[in-house]
Every structure is written in C-alpha cells, then in structure tokens.
C-alpha cells in the first residue's frame, strides 16, 4: 500500500477561547508561508467581521502550510456547540486532530463534544496544552483530565498513547517539556509529522471526492470543499455527482483550488489525500460524492446533527417599518434566507401558512443570532419570535433536547446556582471543589430551561461565574413550565418620543430600556415591570409649563441609567406574546398585539381556552 509521505491532514479542535485560531496563526508564520513583508491580521483565520469582533470562529476554515518538504493541511474548527455541524463534517476530511486544551481551565464541555466526534471517526489525537505561560497553569493535572475524558469516551489503546506538546500560542513557543519552552514551535510541527498518519495514495484507482463544506462566490457560484479519498481529479474532466437523494448529475470540473496560507491557489490536478475546492456545479450539497461517469460509487453520506431550536422570522409590520432598512419585503427576506441555506447545512427554513413568515431552525441561540446579526448588517429589516426548542416524537414518546451544563463559580454562590438550576428542572451530575475557592458543577438541563438563563446567571454570581453548555441528547419531556421570564413589562401607550419627565414618572415601577428622545410607538416594550403583570405607561408625557415657580425648582434630579440590551439578550428576553423588531439601526421589543384593548381581549380568550 502506497502512502503519501509528503502530506498530512489535521483538524484543530478545542473548547471556545482555548487558543485554536492563535495557534494556527503561529504555525502559518513560523512555517514561512507568509512573505516577510506581508501584512497579516492577528487571528488571520477569522475572516468575517463578526468573528473578529467577538473573537470566535463561526465557520470552519482550511489552510495549507509547508514544513521541511512536507505539506500540512490544517482545518480550524469552531468551538461553540452551536456550530457543531461544521465540526462533524471536518472530522471526515482529516487523519488526525490537535486537541488544544487551556493549561488552567482544562477540559470543558465543548472539549468533550469535539473530542467525541474525533474519536468516533477513529482519528489520532495530539494533545496541545496551550497557555502554559498563564498564572496557575496546571499542565500535569490537565493531561490527567484529558486521559480521564478519553477513557470515559471509550478511546482505543492507540488513542490513549497520545503525545503531549506544551505551548504558548501567543508567544509562538512550544516544547515536549512542561518546565521549559523552546524558542519556536518546531516540536509541534515534528509531532504532527511523526504521529499523524499520512494519507493512503490510491490515486491510480477510480475517483472519489466528497464535499464536506460549501462556499459561495458571485463569479463562479457554489464551491464544494472536500477531500479526494481515491483517484485523481483534473480540470476539464467530465464527472458524475452522486446526489443525497440517489439521483446522478453530470458536470465538467471548471476550476479547482488548493489552499496555501490564507489564499486559494488554482490547480490543474488533485490526487488522493488532497483537500481542495471545486467549482462548476450549481446544485451541489454537503455529503455528496463526485466520481467518474463510468464508475459510479458513492461514499457514505455525512450525518449532520439535527437542529434543536426554532424561531419564526416575519416581515416587519411595526409602525416604524421600512424607515431604517434597505430590504424589507417578504421576497427579499426569503431570498436572503435561501442564500444562507447555500452554505449553512445545519439551518432549516420552512414556510408557514402566511407568505410573510418562515420558521427557521438552527443548532442554538448563538447560531440563529449570528444569522440575524449578519442580516441586519446587510440592510435587512425583520421581526422574530421567542426561540423555542424543537420537540420530537421518539418511539411514541414526546422528547426534548437536553444539554450538559458546566458551571464554574466561587464557593459562596453554589447554593443559589443549585436552587436556580433545580427550578429549571436541572439534574446535578457532579460537583468538584478545585481547592482555590472555585467549585465546578455539572448538570443535565432541558434546553428550554436554558433559554434566557444567562442574564439571571450573571446576576446570581455577580459576574464571577462561567457557564458553558452543549447539546447532549433528546430525553422524554418533563412536565410543567421550565424556566421563562417571571417579570412583566412596561408597555408604551402612545407613539412619540420618550421624554426625561415621562421616564422619571415611571422609573420606580421597574427598569427602563430606552433613553430620553428615543422614538417609541404604542405597544412597544419600554421597560421591565417590578411585578409579574404587564403595565401600560405613558413614557412620552411632557411637563406642562406654568408661570408658577416651585420652591424646589433648583434641585437637580438624577435619572437612572437605562438597561440597553444586546441582540442575544433581547432574543432571550422575549415572551410568547412578543416580537423582537430588528433593523440595521435599532433593536426594539414589542407586543405582538399593539393595541391595549385588543391585547386584553386576546389574553382573556387564551385564559378561557386553557381552562
């Protein structure tokens, strides 16, 4: 059996913020892939604005580097479970993984999630203990944690014999010795060449190329990114595309690209083991196989995890509709959602009875809020409903998604966290005291109990707690209400501008969400009520001028600072009878029924129906 000794394919996997993308930066720089005078951003692999702003990787990316006469293809994967759809497919394209673990934080929920996917594909792991220069770094214990996790996930004997490299990605150093860092990352490069299996060279056999990711380009249309598993592929070749539904389409390969550094380089030929991008086919999807016309043999279809959360997207019909956005019609919104399906495989778009509304399903709140944020930046206006979990019928039992939640908090907050998790039907699996006043708690909680929990969690722990969760499985549905907002809201009774006087009149009733001079309309939510019911308020009231001077005229009155909510916070805050209106300039919360009397009638009807 021939082996391609000149090539290695690896994926970098880790929990969010453990330093994957920074590590890839260093590997790119130290391999000499960039010219000496080339301008390169930090975290060069995070290419879109949202990734840079939030410091997270949303889309998996590939890059290629040369080291000593060998070529290493590296895939940088997202750490958030919401983008797990990206991670799973990448595991099929590579022969080994670099598991990056923070030297202080150790194994986290997403570490477990991505590692499980890698072990299922039988990949060889190399463990990189990153941030070794951090205060309180505990490399030996972290390696033990990784061993425990591998055993728990049923790793094979070979997988347990993993090499460990200790690194500081930010300083560009690595070594096999935890006590002392070398000046560069050669020990990591050498570990990759030595331990990651080289691909088999069966390029003489009939072609098999499988698509694992999609890209889109206005000039060439859809681009399929994947791996050549067998055979050779050339530009101009006539090939057959084996579709997921069993049909076969023929097309000609018009362009092929290889990856070097951050660039795509046009190539004429690719052979077994290569990771490439191919254009020339309009109707291509993830998991489909390209093979010769006379030898049609499909690879097993890639399984993609099902969505767990859905929300309704609607055309904006508020009194302020069309003021701030460029694209406001149903046709434009639908076109945009359909184009998102071109590249995002974990997303579903389903029509509803109304031509102005669609049900969008995704892998989690972050997944959907990133789509909404991208849309508003591109000039779209829309409304969305409260996110809801997707309930499935499994063997005749109503089942809901359950998440594994890991919480790290100072000791004094453990009581209140356990109480709040209990109220959300959370079941505690484990509690460990790290000895430095920090406690780690692990729960299994229904996903619907976690919607809107972040804000409550931060106030319970005064901002000192860290919460991470990832989808675990579908379990039989628990009875009763889980989670949800307890407080009612303050709703504006008229359309106008919020005035300082109006705000100060209602301040003691709750927390205000708008600043003076913000335009408001009837039915818009302007604050949170301190009680459980909704309250209609006049926030645009102005003070009548009189010619009588009051004795207290010169006293200054200070207004409280309003709570301005981000997009994620607004989505989490919603109740069933509310929408979040999103435009390029504003995020507003509103009642579905704007008129107070109509709202009361609807509430009464609902009460009667529930009896």
Query: Is 606 annotated as belonging to a binding site?
Result: no
Cβ atoms 65, 28 nearer than 8 A: yes
Instruction: Please state the rounded mean pLDDT for residues 188-213.
Output: 84
Cα distance between residue 317 and residue 523, in whole Å: 12
Query: Is 552 annotated as belonging to a binding site?
Result: no
Cβ atoms 287, 244 nearer than 8 A: yes
Q: How confident is the model at residue 53 (pLDDT cuts 50, 70, 90)?
A: very low
The pLDDT of residue 57 is: 39
Query: Is 243 annotated as belonging to a binding site?
Result: no
The pLDDT of residue 95 is: 87
- CA nearest to 312, candidates 386, 389, 391, 401: 386
Q: How confident is the model at residue 357 (pLDDT cuts 50, 70, 90)?
A: very high
The answer to whether domain 392-476 and domain 489-543+558-574+589-610 are alike in fold is: no
Contacts of 478 (CB under 8 A, 6+ apart): 400, 425, 446
More confident residue, 37 or 131: 131
The pLDDT of residue 382 is: 92
Query: Is 133 annotated as belonging to a binding site?
Result: yes
The pLDDT of residue 160 is: 84
Q: 208-292: what CATH class?
A: mainly beta
Query: Is 601 annotated as belonging to a binding site?
Result: no
Contacts of 609 (CB under 8 A, 6+ apart): none
Q: How confident is the model at residue 195 (pLDDT cuts 50, 70, 90)?
A: confident
Residue with tokens 């707690």: 465
Q: What number does CATH give the domain 392-476?
A: 3.30.70.240
Q: The dihedral of CA 342, 346, 351, 357: what is its sign?
A: negative
Instruction: Please state the rounded mean pLDDT for residues 361-373.
Output: 84
Q: What confidence tens digit (pLDDT) does each residue in 413-433 have?
A: 888 888 888 888 888 888 888
Instruction: Please state the rounded mean pLDDT for residues 248-262.
Output: 79
Query: Is 394 annotated as belonging to a binding site?
Result: no
More confident residue, 352 or 84: 352
Residue with tokens 């009361």: 600
Query: Is 46 annotated as belonging to a binding site?
Result: no
Instruction: Please state the rounded mean pLDDT for residues 559-563.
Output: 83
> pTM for the whole thing?
0.73
Instruction: Please state the rounded mean pLDDT for residues 191-208.
Output: 84
pLDDT at 312 over 90: yes
> Looking at domain 7-195, which CATH architecture does it have?
3-Layer(aba) Sandwich (3.40)
Instruction: Locate 579 and state its tokens.
Output: 């929408």
- CA nearest to 80, candidates 54, 42, 98, 44: 54
Query: Is 6 annotated as belonging to a binding site?
Result: no
Instruction: Please state the rounded mean pLDDT for residues 269-297.
Output: 80
pLDDT at 327 over 60: yes
Does domain 489-543+558-574+589-610 fall into CATH 2.40.50.250? yes
Indicate the domain borders of the chain.
7-195, 208-292, 392-476, 489-543+558-574+589-610
Query: Is 41 annotated as belonging to a binding site?
Result: no
Radius of gyration of the chain from Cα atoms? 27
Q: What confidence tens digit (pLDDT) does each residue in 462-518 have?
A: 877 878 777 778 888 887 777 667 788 999 998 989 888 888 888 888 889 998 888
Query: Is 18 annotated as belonging to a binding site?
Result: yes
The rounded mean pLDDT for the chain is 80
């Amino acid at each position: 059996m021939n082996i391609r000794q000149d090539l290695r394919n690896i994926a970098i996997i880790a929990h969010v913020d453990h330093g994957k993308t920074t590590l890839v930066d260093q590997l790119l720089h130290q391999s000499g892939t960039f010219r000496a005078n080339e301008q390169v951003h930090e975290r060069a692999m995070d290419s879109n604005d949202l990734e840079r702003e939030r410091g997270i990787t949303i889309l998996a990316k590939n890059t290629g580097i040369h080291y000593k006469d060998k070529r290493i293809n590296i895939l940088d994967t997202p750490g958030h479970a919401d983008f797990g759809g990206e991670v799973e497919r990448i595991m099929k394209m590579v022969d080994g993984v670099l598991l990056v673990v923070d030297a202080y934080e150790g194994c986290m929920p997403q570490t477990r999630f991505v590692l499980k996917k890698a072990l299922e594909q039988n990949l060889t792991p190399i463990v990189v203990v990153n941030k070794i220069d951090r205060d309180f770094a505990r490399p030996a214990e972290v390696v033990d944690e990784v061993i425990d996790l591998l055993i728990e996930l049923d790793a094979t004997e070979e997988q347990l014999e993993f090499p460990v490299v200790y690194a500081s990605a930010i300083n560009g150093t690595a070594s096999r010795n935890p006590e002392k860092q070398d000046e560069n990352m050669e020990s990591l490069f050498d570990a990759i060449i030595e331990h990651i299996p080289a691909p088999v060279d069966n390029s003489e056999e009939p072609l098999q190329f499988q698509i694992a990711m999609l890209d889109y380009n206005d000039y060439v249309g859809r681009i399929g990114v994947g791996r050549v598993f067998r055979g050779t592929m050339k530009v101009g070749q006539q090939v057959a595309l084996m579709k997921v539904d069993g049909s076969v389409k023929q097309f000609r390969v018009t362009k092929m690209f290889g990856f070097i550094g951050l660039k795509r380089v046009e190539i004429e030929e690719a052979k077994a083991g290569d990771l490439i991008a191919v254009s020339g086919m309009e109707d291509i999807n993830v998991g489909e196989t390209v093979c010769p016309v006379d030898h049609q043999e499909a690879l097993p279809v890639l399984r993609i995890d099902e969505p767990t959360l859905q929300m309704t997207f609607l055309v904006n019909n508020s009194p302020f509709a069309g003021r701030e956005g460029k694209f406001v019609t149903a046709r434009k919104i639908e076109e945009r959602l359909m184009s998102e399906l071109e590249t995002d495989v974990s997303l579903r778009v389903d029509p509803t009875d109304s031509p102005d509304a669609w049900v969008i399903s995704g892998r989690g709140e972050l997944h959907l809020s990133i789509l909404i944020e991208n849309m508003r930046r591109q000039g779209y206006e829309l409304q969305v409903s409260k996110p809801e979990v997707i309930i499935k019928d499994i063997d005749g039992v109503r089942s809901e998604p359950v998440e594994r939640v890991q919480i790290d908090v100072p000791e004094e907050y453990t009581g209140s966290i356990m109480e709040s998790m209990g109220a959300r039907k959370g079941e505690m699996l484990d509690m460990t005291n790290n000895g430095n006043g920090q406690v780690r708690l692990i729960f299994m909680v229904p996903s619907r109990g976690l919607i809107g929990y972040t804000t409550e969690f931060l106030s319970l722990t005064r901002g000192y707690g860290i919460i991470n969760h990832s989808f675990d499985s579908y379990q039989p549905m628990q009875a009763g209400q889980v989670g949800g907002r307890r407080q009612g809201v303050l709703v504006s009774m008229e359309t106008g501008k919020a005035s300082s006087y109006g705000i100060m009149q209602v301040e003691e009733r709750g927390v205000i969400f708008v600043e003076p001079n913000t335009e408001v309309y009837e039915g818009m939510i302007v604050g949170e009520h301190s009680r459980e019911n909704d309250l209609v308020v006049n926030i645009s009231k102005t003070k009548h001028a009189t010619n009588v001077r009051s004795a207290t005229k010169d006293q200054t009155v200070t207004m409280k600072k309003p709570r301005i909510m981000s997009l994620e916070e607004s989505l989490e805050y919603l109740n069933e009878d509310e929408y979040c209106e999103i435009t390029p300039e504003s995020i507003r919360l509103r009642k579905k029924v704007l008129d107070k009397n109509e709202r009361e009638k609807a509430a009464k009807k609902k009460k009667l129906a529930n009896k």
